Structure 1
Amino acid sequence: MSRRDERVVLAGVDGSASARHAAVWAAEVAVRRGAVLRLVQAYVVPSPEVSGVAVTAVREGFRSRAESGVAEAENAVLAKWPSARIERAVVDGGRVGVLLRECANAEVVVLGSRGLGGFTGLLIGSTAVSLAAHAPCPVVVVRGRRPDDPPPAAGPVLVGLDGSPDSNDALGYACEEAVARGTALAAVHTWNEITPEGKLRAPGTRPQDVAATGRRRVDEQLAPWREKFPDLTIDVVVVQGRPVRTLLELGADARLVVVGSRGRGGFTGMLLGSTSQALLVHSACPVAVVRPDGPRS
């Protein structure tokens, strides 16, 4: 198999505990898929107003620090997954651009929830949104209950559904992850006073009717996946409320939350507004964002 044909799981690292947890999480995926785990650290060298010799020393210092971060991540991976096939890359460049180039050939890109060095503030501002919006593969942010905690090793996989094509791709990814991890899938649909078309519901609308309609849509969306994965336990959760609050509450006992990159109804703007930011910053478990054109295993 040529390098171009090699299956790759990408992990962005930076020397932080969070990044090491992400690398170990990514290694499990890589070993399961028979893929190479590619550990990548980006670093940016400032432009000091000093002599050429000093600039060279600064550059070497930043690169040395980056190489140490990758080595620490590799050691953490091999301690848990000694059979993992690992590649290491240290790249001079901005984190978003580096990872977007790297993930062109990856099946999934995995990141920690906070970091140091080249990935400081990864989830603050536009970085996470840029990766999730433009990466050609699913993007997973690995989180635990507290900032430096490892991700949970038990619980179901949750997926947010709204009937859109995006949520259907997220559903496929979630099914595959649940099967691979030997756990159940919880398909979550929320509804509230706003219709999928963005209008207020008519006065007198009965909550039980809205819930029943939502349940029928979810069952229809699940039907082909139940057929494809007959041994997978799929629980349907249809509740009145806001999607982010519901997923955060249910995610407290989950091992992974999966959402689409766009949607309608309760999950509209998942990557562009406060909903996505809340999930990425506050979830008690890893969060996977799946684009409709992103490849799966």
Structure 2
Amino acid sequence: MTGRIVVGVDGSAPATAAVEWAAADARRRGLDLRIVHVCEQWPHGPGEFSAEYCAGALEAAADRARELAGSVEVTTELRAGNVIDDLIDESASADSVVLGSRGLDGFSGMVLGSVSMAVAGHARDPVVIVRGPGGEEHGRIVIGYDGSEHSEAAMQYAIDQACSRPARLHVLYAWQLPIFSPYAAGYNSLLEEAFQHEVRIAGERVVPWSEKNPDVEITDEQLCEHPAGALIKAAATADLVVVGSRGLGGFASAVLGSVGHAVLHHATCPVAVVRPRQKRP
């Protein structure tokens, strides 16, 4: 990891929103900002995505970033290659990567483009997906936390974000009851006991974080519902939702769990997907 944020741009409105979010984050946390435009080589030859267009989009993004970033150092690079591969490569030496939810190549009916999804699923460090221009600020960050290795990394990122803003941090744990036959009434008391056990354990997991970070206002909530639905609802009054790339229910081979996938597609505020940092050789 280095002290810089990387933002990928392509001239689209969501990319501009990503630049604005990244510039504000870099200013708050005292990090450098690197703006990258990957000018892909299309087999049909130059068109609207010509080198001239790419350079113009990069320059416009840099101008907007410098308006917002204060004394932050802003650098740019125009690259030729594969946008997904290049942005994943950039993540190997960055604090985080910030992208718009959908680029110029996205279909109008899609809320999340293929580039954003691929980078969120494979980048080595946190990826923040920004849907649109910043709106009302709520002073609240929401994190989905289940005690898994991935959610531990997400919690640290959420703490850092809360410290820099400042903002309250709301820790959400949602547990979905197993599905039983409606005739299995005898299981009701067992299920209630199981849920209360989950509630107690989830609350206990938050205590050490509160003790280590007394300057951050941390609240926690345990709900009996699907985690994705709970986080999407909480996003309506949050400035940022943070999720681990995979939780306890994830398959070992999955690069992005079902909860993270759903939140990326449906949350209305920026979403950060965090995976445990790998040791660099």
Contact 1:142 1:151 in 2 (8 A): no
Q: CA deviation at 1:40?
A: 0.5
3-state secondary structure, aligned to 1:153: coil
Q: CA deviation at 1:185?
A: 0.7
TM-superposition CA deviations, 1:18-70 (whole Å, max 9, x none): 1111112111222233322000011212234xxxxxx6xx3896111111111
Q: Which of 164, 189, 196 lines up with 2:173 in the alignment?
A: 189
**Bigger mean CA offset, 243-252 vs 22-31:** 22-31
Q: In the superposition, relative to structure 1, how do residues 119 and 81 fare at CA in structure 2: closer, same or farther (>3 Å)?
A: farther
The residue number in structure 2 matching 1:277 is 261
The residue number in structure 2 matching 1:124 is 113
TM-superposition CA deviations, 1:121-140 (whole Å, max 9, x none): 79334x43432232121011
Alignment partners' CA distance in 2, 1:119 and 1:39: 24
Q: Are residue 74 (structure 1) and residue 62 (structure 2) matched?
A: yes
Q: Are residue 229 (structure 1) and residue 225 (structure 2) matched?
A: no
TM-superposition CA deviations, 1:233-252 (whole Å, max 9, x none): 11111111111111111110
Alignment partners' CA distance in 1, 2:234 and 2:79: 38
2:50 alignment partner AA: F
The residue number in structure 1 matching 2:79 is 91
Identity of aligned residues (%): 35
TM-superposition CA deviations, 1:185-234 (whole Å, max 9, x none): 11111112239xxxx9x822455433432222222221221121112111
Alignment partners' CA distance in 2, 1:61 and 1:286: 27
Q: In the superposition, relative to structure 1, how do residues 183 and 208 fare at CA in structure 2: closer, same or farther (>3 Å)?
A: farther
TM-score (norm 2): 0.86
Alignment partners' CA distance in 2, 1:132 and 1:6: 19
Q: Which of 85, 96, 110 lines up with 1:108 in the alignment?
A: 96
3-state secondary structure, aligned to 1:105: coil
Count residues with an aligned counterpart.
Answer: 272
Contact 1:122 1:128 in 2 (8 A): no
Alignment partners' CA distance in 2, 1:131 and 1:191: 28
The residue number in structure 2 matching 1:39 is 35
Q: Flag structure 1 segments of 5+ consecutive residues without an equivalent.
A: 49-54
Contact 2:137 2:239 in 1 (8 A): yes
Alignment partners' CA distance in 2, 1:281 and 1:251: 12
Alignment partners' CA distance in 2, 1:249 and 1:235: 17
Alignment partners' CA distance in 1, 2:147 and 2:264: 22
3-state secondary structure, aligned to 1:110: strand
TM-superposition CA deviations, 1:164-183 (whole Å, max 9, x none): 11111111111111121111
Q: In the superposition, relative to structure 1, how do residues 272 and 35 fare at CA in structure 2: closer, same or farther (>3 Å)?
A: closer
3-state secondary structure, aligned to 1:204: helix
Q: CA deviation at 1:273?
A: 5.3
Q: Flag structure 2 segments of 5+ consecutive residues without an equivalent.
A: none
Q: CA deviation at 1:79?
A: 2.2
Alignment partners' CA distance in 1, 2:24 and 2:7: 12
TM-superposition CA deviations, 1:106-125 (whole Å, max 9, x none): 00000011122599979334
Q: How does 1:189-228 map to 2 (within 5 A)?
A: 189-194=173-178, 203-206=187-190, 208-228=192-212
TM-score (norm 1): 0.81
The residue number in structure 2 matching 1:25 is 21
Q: Which of 167, 171, 177 lines up with 2:161 in the alignment?
A: 177
The residue number in structure 1 matching 2:244 is 260
The residue number in structure 2 matching 1:140 is 128
The residue number in structure 2 matching 1:63 is 51
3-state secondary structure, aligned to 2:241: strand
Q: Superposition RMSD on alpha carbons, in Å?
A: 2.9
Contact 1:14 1:118 in 2 (8 A): no
